[in-house]
Amino acid sequence: MARRKKGEIVNGWICLDKPYDFGSTQAVGKVRWLFKAQKAGHAGTLDPLATGVLPIALGEATKTVPFMMDADKAYRFTVEWGRSTTTLDREGETTATSDVRPTREQVEAALPAFVGEIQQIPPDYSAVKVDGERAYDLARAGTAMELKPRAVTIHSARVSAVPDADHIEIEVECGKGTYVRAIVRDLAEALGACAHVSQLRRTRVGPFGEDRAITLENLENLSHKAALPEVLLPVETALDDIPALAVTAEDAFRLAQGRPIVLVPRQVETLKARLTGGSRLVSAMDGTRLVALAEMRAGRLNPVRVFIQA
C-alpha cells in the first residue's frame, strides 16, 4: 500500500515578489509551508540579493516547471560606477576603482552593442559548472578558472533613470542564461569605467509579471484569513504560449488514462494554424480544467504529461 504524502493537495502557481536577502529555496519552503502543500518548486533561481518575480509551482503545477525554464525574463537594475568587485555586485570585494562616471548619453550609445544574440562570459560567481564543480564554489576557494563565452539573447536594453552621477538604472528583456552582472561588467569595460550591480529586480518571467506578484507578508496575512486560494494562479498559467484545445469529457477521460484521442479534421486544421516554431504541443482542456499536455501527430493527440486536479 502506497504511503500517503504529507500535506494538502494544492495545485497552481504563486507569483512571489521575493524579498531582498532571501534565497529562492528558502522562499519555496516558506510558500509551501503557508499552503501546507505536498509539493513545491520554482521556475528560475533568483539571487538572495535580488528582489522581484519568483514563480513558485505547487502540486500539479510542478509538472509545468520545465516549460518555464526557457521563458524570457525582464530585469531592472542599478549600476554603481567607481568600483568593480569580485562578485560583480555590492557584496563582493573591491578589485578596481575608477573616477570615470559615464553619462546617460554614453551609456545609451553603448547599449545597442549588447542587444541581439551576443557572446557572454558568465561571472565567476555563477552556477555554471566547470569540470563538474559550480563556478561559485571554485571562486570562493580561490581556484583559477576560465569560463567560456556562451550565446545569449538580449531583446532590449534601455536607460530608465539616472538618480545621480554615480548611478544609472537600466531595464533589459532577455532570454534564458543571461547574467545581468555580466552585462554590467562588460558595459563598464566598454566605457573604460569600473562598476558593479548595486540593486537588481526581476520584473517578469514569461507570463508572470510584477502585476501578478504578491509579497510574503501579504501571503502570511491571507493565510490568517484562510484566503490563500484567492491568489493561486491556474496550473496552465505557465503554458500561455501553448495552444489550448477544448476536449469532451469522454476524450478527457481517455487522455487522463494516458491514451491518445483522434481529432476531427477541423480540429487538426485549427491547431496547425496556431502551432508555431515546429512545436506540436497542445494543452487539452476539459472546460477550465487542464487535463494533459499532448502532442499532435497524424491526426491524433498523444498525452505527454497528464494532470490530476480536483
Strand partners, 164: 167
CA 288, CA 85: separation in Å to the nearest integer? Answer: 50
In terms of Cα–Cα distance, which of 191, 197, 189, 150 is closest to 172? 197
Residue whose C-alpha cell is 539616472: 162
Q: Give residue 265's identity as a one-letter amino acid code.
A: P
CA dist 208 and 53 (Å) reads: 7
- The rounded distance, in Å, linking the Cα atoms of 74 and 157 is 10
CA distance 41 to 59: 9
Strand partners, 171: 76, 158
Count of Cβ atoms closer than 10 Å to residue 216 Cβ: 16
Catalytic sites, residue numbers: 47
